[in-house]
A = this chain, B = another copy of it.
Amino acid sequence: MSIHEEVTQKAKRAKEAAYRLATLPSDVKDRALEAVARSLSERAGEILAANATDMEAGRAAGLSPALLDRLLLNEKRLEEMAASLRALISLPDPVGEVIAMWTRPNGLQIGRQRVPLGVVGMIYEARPNVTVDAAGLCVKTGNAVLLRGGSEAINSNVALARVAAEAAEGAGLPPGSIQLIETTDREAVNAMLRLREYLDVLIPRGGAGLIRAVVEQASVPVVETGVGNCHVYVDEFADLDMAVRIVVNAKTQRPGVCNAMETLLVHEKVAGVYLPMVATELTAKGVELRGCPRTREILSGIGAATEEDWATEYLDLILAVRVVDSFPAALEHIRQYSTGHSEAIVTENYSRARKFLATVDAAAVYVNASTRFTDGFQYGLGAEIGISTQKLHARGPMGLEALTTTKFIVYGHGQIRE
C-alpha cells in the first residue's frame, strides 16, 4: 500500500468515526477521557520503553539538550498528561449548545447549534505530549483526530496513540476516533494537506517553517497557530515602575514561547529615565539588548539593532529596543512589524489606552499587563488547542469552542417560500 493510500484509508476511517462521535453523549466522551488517563499510568512501562528508544536515537543523532528534554517522558510527565485529560472532563461540553434561537414572522423557529468540526488533522513537532493533548481535546469535542507527529518522537507517539485509542475504544468510542500516521515519510504530510474529502481542518503546531509549509500548500482549511513578534510600548505617561515589571516579565518569564515580548518601544520623553532602570533588571536576568541609535546614546555599550532585529521573533533572551518620537510612531512601528499576536501599551493616559486598544490589529491587545497572559488557561477558557494568529474561525487562544462549528436547525410546520 502506498503512503498516500495508507493516509487516505486512515482519514476515511476517521470520517466514519466522526459521524458517530458527533452524536455521542458527553458522559461517554468523559468516560473515554478517564479511561485514557488511567491507561497512561497502567501502561507507563510500554510508553517509557518506546520513549527510551527515541531518546537513544536522539542522542545518537546529536539532538540538543533542549530538544532532548522536550522529547523526554517520565512518570511525572505521564501524570501531567493524565491530569490534563481529567481537567477536560470537568469542563462543559460545547457540543449541542444552541447559541441562539429565534422565530421568524412565518413561524419558522431557527436555531444555531454547536456541532463538532468532524475530522481534525494535527501536524506537530517534537513534544510527544501533544499526541495525548490533541486526542483529549478532540474526544471532548466529539471530533475524530488524525495525528502526525515529528519523526524524533515516532516511537513515543506510536505507543501513546495506541494506548489512547485502545482505552478510548474500550470505553465506547467508535474505532478510528484516535489515529496516528505511523510512517515518518514526509509524503504522508503532503497527502494530509490535500484530503479535503475527509479532513475538515488542519492544525499545525510547531516552528514557523512547519506552519508556513502547511498554510502554503494545504487545500484543507487550516487554523494557523503562528509566530509572535510581540511588542511592549512604554508611553510617556507610563508608571515607570510598573513598566519595568511588565517588560521584565514579558521578556524573561519564559522567553521561548510565542507570547514573550521581542521588541521594547519607549517614548522619547521617558527614555532617558526608563531605559537605564529597565536595562539594569534585564541585564541581571541575562538579557542581551540591541538598540536603535538613540537607545545606544542612553545605554552605551549595547549592540546595534538592525532592520532584521525589528522583524525577528528571538524566542530567546535577546531584546530589541527602540526609542520613538511619539505615540503615533509607536503605533506605526507595531503596524509594520507586528505578527498580530500580542501587543501591549503601558500608560496612565486614558485616550492613549483606548486608541491603542482600538487601533492595534492583533489577536490580543493589552493595557498595563504582560503579553505573557495570551493563553487559554490564563484567559479562563479551561483548555487550549493553540493560539491562532489568523482571523478566520478563531483568533487568539483557542478553547474547546474552536474545535466546533455550528449548524442551523430549523423547526417548521409546513412552511414554503413564496
Contacts and interface: CB of A to CB of B under 8 A. Distances in A.
A110 B380 contact: yes
Contact of A245 (B217, B221, B408, B414): B414
A300 interface: no
Contact of A219 (B19, B216, B239, B411): B216
A410 B343 CA distance: 10
Contacts of A409: 357, 365
A189 B409 CA distance: 36
Contacts of A362: 407
Nearest to A413: B368
Main SS at interface, chain A: mixed
Given A216-B219, A392-B201, A367 B408 contact: no
Given A246-B416, A417-B253, A417-B378, A410 B201 contact: no
Contacts of A201: 391-392
A215 B223 contact: no
Given A108-B373, A335-B19, A200 B391 contact: yes
Interface residues of A, number: 68
Contacts of A23: 358-359
Given A335-B19, A405-B391, A378 B412 contact: no
A22 interface: yes
A250 B414 CA distance: 12
Nearest to A196: B215
